[in-house]
Structure formats: C-alpha cells, structure tokens
Amino acid sequence: MCARPTPSIVVGGGDTRLDSEAMRPLPRHVLVHSDGRRLLVYGELRGSLDEEGAGAAGEGAQIHKRLDVFTEAWVGIAPARNTRPLDSPAAAAGPERCPFCPGGVEVPFSYDAAVFDNRFPSFRPHPPPAPLLDGPTGPAQGRCEVVLYTDRHDASFGELSAVELARVVAVWIDRGRELWADPAHSYVCIFENRGAEVGATIAHPHGQIYALDHVPPLTAARSEAHRRHRRREGGCLSCAATRADDRSGRVVSANESFVVAVPFAARWPFEVAVRARRHGLQRLADLVPEEQRDLAVALHDVARRYDALFDLPLPYMMVAQEAPHDQPDWHLAFELYPLHRAPGATKIRASVETGLGLFLNDVAPEDAALQLAGLDVPVEPIELDSLFTVTQPDAAMLS
C-alpha cells in the first residue's frame, strides 16, 4: 500500500472559518437574445445584446424521447444537433472563429463567466409534442445550458486562476440551485467534455448543464444501491465507500472535505472520484465555504495531474453526481473519466462495454493512483476570502 500523498495545492493560512455573508458578491445579469434564449453574465456587465441577436435557434421540432422497452431507459432524439457550429476537431477553432469568445454570436462583449441556453438543445423547457410512432415516446422536457468558465480562449479548467476557479464553482452552485428548484426537473447534471476525443466541438473552456424531467438509469441504479445498503447494513453507502477509499492505496491527493481517489472498480483508465466526506453534503448548494474552497482545490488538482500524466492536454469527461430528490444518503461527487491508458493509446468503449455494460480496464486502479499521486504539479494558493456568492441586481433584466 502506498503512502498517503501530500497536497499539491495549498490553501491560505490563518482563520479557516468564513461566514457565507463575508464571501465576495458575484453579480448575475440576465439578458435575453432575440430568439428568447437567456444569457446570464456573472461579474461586471460590459455590454449588451444586439437587437437581431445570434439568430434563431435550431428549429428543434423533431426533438423527443423514445423509450427502450428492453432497458426501460429513455433515449433523446435530437437531429438538429447535426447542424451545430464547428462540428470538427476542437483544436482547429481559433478565437477568430469561436462563438464563445468576446464578439462571438453568443456573447458579443468581454465577460468574467457566463451561462446561456444552448442554441441546439436536446431538451427544452417548452418542447414540441412527442410524435406518435410505433413505440413509446415523450416530449424532450428539460433544459440545456452552456457554462463559459472564462473569456480566455487559450485556457482550460486546469489553467484557470484561483479567482476564475472560485467564480466557476459559484456559478455551478447558482445554476444548480435554480434548476433543482424547478418542479419540472427530476435531475440536474453539470458536466464537462474536454477535448475533441470526447465530443467537444469547441475548444473554448466550457462545460454544460442538463436538467431532465426524469432520473437517468445509472443515477436510479445508484440510488437503489444506497437504499439496499441502508436496509441491509443500517448505514450510509456513501459514508462506507468514502471511508474505504480514504484508507486505501488509491488516494490521489489529500483534501479535508473530499476524498480524491481512483475508484475501487474504476471503469476508465486513470478515472478519479472526488467524493464529499460529510454526510448531508448532497448537492453543490449544500457546500459551506470551506467545502466550496476544497472542491475547487480538488478538481483543479486532478485536472493538472491529468495534463502532467502524459505531458499533453488530456481529454476527459467530468460529471457532477448530485443527489436525486429521494436519496438522503447520497454524497456529492465529481467523477472524471479520461480516455488515455498510455501516451498515444486511448480506451475504446467497445462491444462488451457497450452491448453488455461490462467494462474492461487495462490499468489497475492502484497503479493508476500511484502514477497520479506521484506527479509534481504546480502549487497555487486558494484563499477563503477569494470565494464568491452570486447576487442578482434588481435592474439585471435587459433585452
């Protein structure tokens, strides 16, 4: 068993307690494109939207859901996504072509961070009626948002400054709180696809949020696993798993509020889970300031370790796993799934994984953890007083 690693990012010294009212205010300005899509600007508002806006969103008349009767899982059908801009290797898109850069079609001015309704969504707040077909269908109810981490095109999550990183976490909290409060939403997922290899068509640093009208199948299965554990063992599955990870040789970096480790049964090479220690920390909105800081530290650290692993901008998928409405034992977690198993070699989700759901991992979790924990990555302080809390000015609604 390897020794417990030391932190690669330090936090500010002194008083480690900070009342949320003492956090830095982050204004949120709400603008509306001519096609009705919202643009949320966080921080200083430095411009306005053109009256003609970004052009009408994709028609979306064909979007709907179809039920797979063998798995009872919904499948989203969204043909308009084929018309998305820059549907090519993300690295080919420079700032002059990027729709997310200042002056682009989505945000025509400079900004600190921004969120907007996706022009090519798979789910809509007011979807068209589901078509009548030869199987079960449903309307594509929900919301798809794009989260712009910064207006700097040549950056990545691991290259964000401490202030930018704290701002992004505050934006996640704000969007999650609002979307979870909508009774039309049964589940909310914040995620990032980094790199063309995992489907990112635009290189500008950004993530996405899907709010769904149903609980997706993997989430439902995990929720049921928590219920079974509670019935059989009389305790919390997430608490037990977090303690086991913390005692193992799979820890990647030390963190007071989160266990950062390669999962025991990792499906992807160098997969990492950042899971909350505290029982009751179920969603981003439950974070206290110290946990908000520690989450930023942990995710920043993992992203930097990934880029150092093979000395390349490592493509990955990052998914926030927040608690569904009916699962009090669930601990907030972020899971990161990189594709590379070696320099120049990626894991392909092939027939057995796709057809059977049986994953085959070419890298032992303990070996992956040793490699990640042994990397020397840059150290950057993140002070408690650099954290943000979102405020909403009364005069924010512009058109």
- Catalytic residue numbers read 206
Contact 211, 187 (CB under 8 A): yes
Q: In whole angstroms, what is the distance from residue 257 CA to residue 296 CA?
A: 11
Contact 8, 304 (CB under 8 A): yes
Q: In whole angstroms, what is the distance from residue 31 CA to residue 379 CA?
A: 37
Residue with tokens 């002194």: 14
DSSP string for 21-55:
GGSEEEEEEEEE-TTS-EEEEES-------SSTT-
Helix (H) or strand (E) segment spanning residue 143: strand 142-148
Q: In whole angstroms, what is the distance from residue 54 CA to residue 189 CA?
A: 26
SS3 272: strand
Token pair, residue 206, equals 């950004």
DSSP 252: E
Q: In whole angstroms, what is the distance from residue 199 CA to residue 94 CA?
A: 17
- Total length of the chain: 399
Contact 260, 272 (CB under 8 A): yes
